[in-house]
Structure 1
Amino acid sequence: MKIVSYIVIAFAAILLVYNATKVDFTNPFEGDSTIAFIGIVASLCAIVLMLIFLMSKMIDDKTKN
């Protein structure tokens, strides 16, 4: 399960970088920039959730031992 978590984090990071390149900073809330911002926020949420999951797994492993 650990490997899948790292793969999801890597995929979310790649999507974050891709969406960051699609943002038009002259009009950040118009057209495709809005969709890019939504993608950036979604990628950040996925990364945070996976990090919380990994931390909970580490805590669970330490309490079992």
Structure 2
Amino acid sequence: MKIALYIILGLASALLIFNLTKIDYSAPFEGNSMVGVISVIACLCAILLVIILMISRKIAVKNKELKRKPKNQ
């Protein structure tokens, strides 16, 4: 799962860069530029969700470690 998350993160980053090149910055909300803007927003959402998932998995691991420790220590 860890490798899959990094692959998804890499693909989303590559798509983000690709879609940034498709935007016409003089008229970003017309024609194909609108598709590029929507795709950039979607890629940013995907990257954010993957980062949140990675952080939540780290928190879950730390939480399990704390539960396994004896309370006397």
Q: Which runs of 4+ in 1 moved over 6 A?
A: none
Q: CA RMSD in A?
A: 0.5
**Higher radius of gyration, 1 or 2:** 2
- How far is the alpha carbon of 1:30 from its aligned partner? 0.3
- How far is the alpha carbon of 1:51 from its aligned partner? 0.3
Aligned length: 65
* TM-score with structure 2 setting the length: 0.87
Aligned to 2:11: 11
**Where do 5+ consecutive residues of structure 1 fail to align?**
none
Work out the percentage of aligned pairs sharing the same amino acid.
Answer: 45
* TM-score with structure 1 setting the length: 0.97
- How far is the alpha carbon of 1:43 from its aligned partner? 0.2
- How far is the alpha carbon of 1:27 from its aligned partner? 1.1
